[in-house]
Structure 1
């Protein structure tokens, strides 16, 4: 999520947070020099093990421009669940989604691929699933009402069509944000199929830190954002569901056509996390979503005091450290548990159960009743003998 809001009932994007970079040749000393995030997460060290080959990342977004030089050959055929709005060649088409795809799997271009954007997992494939429109699309209002279930449908479609990771750089962090049962069920469906699900934590850090969905659904790996100083970005939402943090400020990305943009928000942070998971899945495809989540949190950098906090989650992702630790894990069961939560709740955190809704523990009651029955039987036998 980069800073504005739109979603089948309100999914947020980032058009306002994307600025076109100057029209200069995309040589390594121009674009690559701005990719501070790759160094921050130790991507180069991770590439000694894998660059994401064999993994498909579903990008649920505004669409992806498969013809961008840095994504050529990396993008699979798109699934459009909107069906209207801007198209290729329009300024209000696929800008946000293309940027996120490049953060995940950009591979540069030119001789030796030294020019353009390099993603976290440059050998991974991108599966575009169009579930929202750009903020400046004239049909945006129509999409809100007519395609309110597109996100839930997109999650299920991606889970059934080869996605190894589902990346959602979007969300609703408005004051009216609330859980949608269809979205929650779709996420649990994907997790149950062994597919990690990533979402932006929200851009409400300066606007009240409202809960953002889908980030707050159980089992989702929610990404908060840090700047180049590795400090929490002011816009990044603080909340109990924060899992890990990733670069999210002044991020160089591909735009539609052959353009480049600079963006900020928890949108690129979620893309960084999705790329890191693509690296892990490439080297260790049998790990479950819950294991990958624990691996990311256990190997994170700059871990807050106490192990986590609402600003950073468990800290800044480190895919190189995660890949080093992964061999110690045992393969996951064939049917992983949908969500890695003991309780399902939304909002500021767990609340005390209503006594009327709390299940009664039958063991002590049964034991007590049995004991009374034995005492009564003993009394009857004693009286009979007497």
Structure 2
């Protein structure tokens, strides 16, 4: 079954002002809008770890390292899409995700702009899909050359400690791929922690979503400011945790910011938490990193687990404390089973060996804030 990479990124409202706005003012507004910093207890977690020494591979639409909040953070990996870059469309979603993972902010004391969950980590950008609305998508060669599987293997072979995939099945293709599942297991064998978004059709089809459903991948859903599961967040029995995913401000393009919603953002934040843990505990296995994140979750379901919340709402500080306990010399370590995820149905694996999962960058953007250069109007 042939598949073409199909990201989902919709801008519905542009907000501007009539007078020029100083860049410092924009930066302060952006930082003030990052409600997830308190929800994840990041200021406290940063006393223990900021992700130093960790490389996070962002498999997405590409990452624009020229954005002021990502200066010096990004190294460019391969473009596996088989398509050229369309002006103004390349790397917007990937840049947004990278900023949530390892944004540094900017300005005096880096107090403005987007700061990521792991602000001392580095990002490896691997382009595996095109932006929504990119006119080149129609010209993209069918299947994209198995981009996701190749991207996972490239990340693992080039030292990625964490692989972040804010992607999901789309365009009617919701099965898994044997090539992708093998790539996931290959990366886990190399010690990489894989994180993916659970999907954004929880209020519609609520379909099984890949790569989140592959065994070994940490699947992440979304919650709102009140820590309630977002209506769009997919509910599945392979869900690991949930994290902030509504009203999320991110970097966008060269000089802009976007406010959006989706499980994409939630997954990027949990990838950042994994980076904090890997920095503090470099030798910790992917399974035990996941265990620490789940043990550190708050607002846990009464039964201990649910398809909506997974093990609860991710919390960076509590995850680091759980990792400390797991990494203690005398700590009894839990042993993983054959899966920590449901995996594709046996009938679908053979069906898609030659194909590629259609990918969706699952972040539905609602408000765009663009800061023009050299003091021009905010448009």
- Shorter-chain TM-score tier: 0.7 to 0.9
Runs of 4+ in 1 over 6 A off after TM superposition: none
User: Secondary structure of 2:199's partner?
Assistant: coil
1:150 is the counterpart of 2:147: yes
Q: CA RMSD in A?
A: 2.4
* Equivalent residues of 1:49, 1:283 under 8 A apart: yes
Q: Give the equivalent residue in structure 2 for 1:346.
A: 344
**Number of residue equivalences:** 336
Q: Which has the larger radius of gyration?
A: 1
1:311 is the counterpart of 2:308: yes
1:268 is the counterpart of 2:265: yes
* Equivalent residues of 2:238, 2:342 under 8 A apart: no
* Equivalent residues of 1:81, 1:131 under 8 A apart: yes
- TM-score, structure 2 length as denominator? 0.83
Query: Which residue, out of 4, 9, 31, partners 1:15?
Result: 9
Measured after TM superposition, the shift of residue 9 of structure 1 is 2.0
Q: Give the equivalent residue in structure 2 for 1:323.
A: 320
- TM-score, structure 1 length as denominator? 0.82
Alignment of 1:164-243 (within 5 A): 164-173=161-170, 175-243=172-240
Q: Cα–Cα, structure 1 residues 17 and 293, in superposed 2: closer, same or farther, change >3 Å?
A: farther
Q: Give the equivalent residue in structure 2 for 1:163.
A: 160
* Equivalent residues of 1:19, 1:263 under 8 A apart: no
Measured after TM superposition, the shift of residue 214 of structure 1 is 0.6
Structure ranking higher in strand proportion: 2
Q: Give the equivalent residue in structure 2 for 1:74.
A: 73
* Equivalent residues of 1:58, 1:163 under 8 A apart: yes
Q: Give the equivalent residue in structure 1 for 2:136.
A: 139
**Matches of 2:256 and 2:240 in 1, distance apart?**
32
Deviations along 1:56-82, whole A, 9 cap, x unmatched? 000000000010000000001232112
Q: Report which structure shows greater RCO (CA 8 Å, sep ≥6).
A: 2
Alignment of 1:285-296 (within 5 A): 285-296=282-293
Measured after TM superposition, the shift of residue 142 of structure 1 is 3.2
* Equivalent residues of 2:76, 2:126 under 8 A apart: no
Give the stretch that moved more between structures: 18-27 or 148-157.
18-27
1:118 is the counterpart of 2:115: yes
**Matches of 2:8 and 2:257 in 1, distance apart?**
15
**Matches of 1:239 and 1:210 in 2, distance apart?**
8
Q: Give the equivalent residue in structure 2 for 1:253.
A: 250
Q: Structure 1: give runs of 5+ residues left out of the alignment.
A: 1-7, 348-386
**Matches of 1:11 and 1:26 in 2, distance apart?**
37
User: Secondary structure of 2:305's partner?
Assistant: coil
Q: Cα–Cα, structure 1 residues 314 and 17, in superposed 2: closer, same or farther, change >3 Å?
A: farther
Measured after TM superposition, the shift of residue 340 of structure 1 is 5.1
Q: Structure 2: give runs of 5+ residues left out of the alignment.
A: 330-334, 346-379
Q: Cα–Cα, structure 1 residues 125 and 168, in superposed 2: closer, same or farther, change >3 Å?
A: same
